Amino acid sequence: DAGITQSPRHKVTETGTPVTLRCHQTENHRYMYWYRQDPGHGLRLIHYSYGVKDTDKGEVSDGYSVSRSKTEDFLLTLESATSSQTSVYFCAISEDEETGELFFGEGSRLTVL
Amino acid sequence: GQNIDQPTEMTATEGAIVQINCTYQTSGFNGLFWYQQHAGEAPTFLSYNVLDGLEEKGRFSSFLSRSKGYSYLLLKELQMKDSASYLCAVRDSNYQLIWGAGTKLIIKP
């Protein structure tokens, strides 16, 4: 199994508070992704990274920011959480953007009250 | 716009065969993936098709027709542990993955 861990796995917070989710990998893969998964929707890309300090927006990036200061860590921050950001968040890694499969973390379930 | 369509839910019997279809309209095509996701768990990779035809891997096979924008995942000799959601995803011309909403497969004894 790919070495990828997410923390926290579960979090309940209140509207307006900042939240940071962490993704840590031990595979030295270049590409890292943050997705959210909601009922009735496919996985939706929030942000991704193609190297240290190299990040780009996905289709649902509003209200989210990311940082990657080391190859192994990719942080997702909700500056001011809203109820619409209640979701399950998955981090994924891949070695090769063109043909590589994604390896997913276990997911972080976030509830914003 | 880009779109991936797959049935929301399917039911099949243990030991039988089931085919899960996926149709897509995307900006370009650079491969199609199938993932399996058990309830409450992370998606895991099943198969990858980039050329037309059938790819077989044990009890699972995946077919692709690029001209028709169509793929299917075939599961044979169904087992109870195959109860899961099956996600279809297409890599577009920008190498971004576009995901379907998933097909929940229920296996009955």
pLDDT tens digit sequence for A41-91: 889 999 999 999 999 999 999 999 999 999 999 999 999 999 999 999 999
Cβ separation A43–B41 shorter than 8 A: no
- Shortest distance between the Cα of B80 and any Cα of chain A, in A, equals 22
In the prediction, which pLDDT does A4 show? Answer: 96
Q: Largest Cα–Cα distance of chain A, in whole Å?
A: 40
In the prediction, which pLDDT does A2 show? Answer: 64
Three-state secondary structure string covering chain A? CCCEEEECCEEEECCCCCEEEEEEECCCCCEEEEEEECCCCCCEEEEEEEECCEEEECCCCCCEEEEEEECCEEEEEECCCCHHHCEEEEEEEECCCCCCCCEECCCEEEEEC
> What pLDDT band is residue A96 in, cutting at 50, 70 and 90?
confident
CA nearest B107: which of B71, B73, B75, B62? B75
Strand-strand pairing, B9-13 and B103-108: parallel
Across A52-56, A85-89, A96-100, B5-9, least confident range: A96-100
CB within 8 Å of chain A, chain B residues 27-86:
30-31, 33, 35, 41-45, 48, 50
- Tokens describing residue A44: 């939706």
Q: Could you give the CA distance from residue B29 to residue B12 in angstroms, rounded to a whole number?
A: 31
pLDDT tens digit sequence for A5-23: 999 999 999 999 999 999 9
Is the model's pLDDT at B34 over the cut of 70? yes
Residues of chain B with Cβ-Cβ distance to A31 below 8 Å are: none
Residues of A with CB under 8 A from a CB of B: 40-45, 58, 90, 97-99, 101-107
Share of chain B above pLDDT 90, in %: 93
In the prediction, which pLDDT does A87 show? Answer: 98
Contacts of B1-5 with C-beta under 8 Å, sequence gap 24+, read B1/B25, B2/B26, B2/B27, B2/B92, B2/B98, B3/B98, B4/A42, B4/B88, B4/B89, B4/B90, B4/B98, B4/B99, B4/B100, B4/B101, B5/B100
Residues of chain B with Cβ-Cβ distance to A99 below 8 Å are: 31, 48, 50
B23 touches chain A (CB under 8 A): no
Q: Which residues, 6 or more positions from A19, have their beta carbon under 8 angstroms from its beta carbon?
A: A11, A13, A77, A78, A81, A110, A112
In the prediction, which pLDDT does B80 show? Answer: 97
In the prediction, which pLDDT does B62 show? Answer: 98
Cβ separation B97–A97 shorter than 8 A: no
Cβ separation A99–B102 shorter than 8 A: no
- Tokens describing residue A104: 């997913």
- Tokens describing residue B34: 């199938």
Residue A4: CB atoms within 10 A of its CB come to 23
B102 touches chain A (CB under 8 A): yes
CA nearest B87: which of B27, B54, B38, B30? B38
Residues of chain A with Cβ-Cβ distance to B31 below 8 Å are: 99
Measure CB to CB from residue A98 to each of B33, B41, B95 and give the nearest one: B95
- Shortest distance between the Cα of A77 and any Cα of chain B, in A, equals 21
What is the mean pLDDT of the segment spanning B38-43? 95
